[in-house]
Amino acid sequence: MLNFHVGRLLATTVIMSFASLAPAHAKIACEDGFQRVQGNWLATPYCQDALLGKVARQYGMKASDAHIRNNPNFKRHVCRLVGQDIRVRSTCLEANPYRGRGF
């Protein structure tokens, strides 16, 4: 009886050790510029840049999400072209603050 429990414990330990070796697939899930964090949808810069890239590609630009995230000047350029789209207006206001006439 003891050998059965020891064998079962050993088998469980081996299975658990192999399960822990599997790579973790933790990818940030974005939806319309928002990221789910602890059950709530939050606007994060990562997801806002992903949305900006998606909108830019819909307008025909060759803009990757990583390029927008890593190059602020490219982000400003993209915002100059598609920044009036309602989906990315708030993101582009942060990248390209409005410089209207000063009084």
Per-residue tens of pLDDT for the chain, all 103 residues? 556 566 676 666 656 665 555 556 678 889 999 999 998 999 999 999 999 999 999 999 999 999 999 999 999 999 999 999 999 999 999 888 776 665 5
Is residue 15 assigned to a domain? no
Q: How long, in residues, is the chain?
A: 103
- Rounded-to-integer distance, Cα 75 and Cα 41, Å: 23
Is residue 53 assigned to a domain? yes
Provide the number of structural domains found in the chain: 1
- Rounded-to-integer distance, Cα 41 and Cα 77, Å: 28
Is residue 19 assigned to a domain? no
What range defines the domain where residue 67 resides? 28-95
Residue 10 has what pLDDT? 62
Residue 51 has what pLDDT? 96
Dump strand ranges (E) for 1-103.
Answer: 30-31, 34-37, 40-43
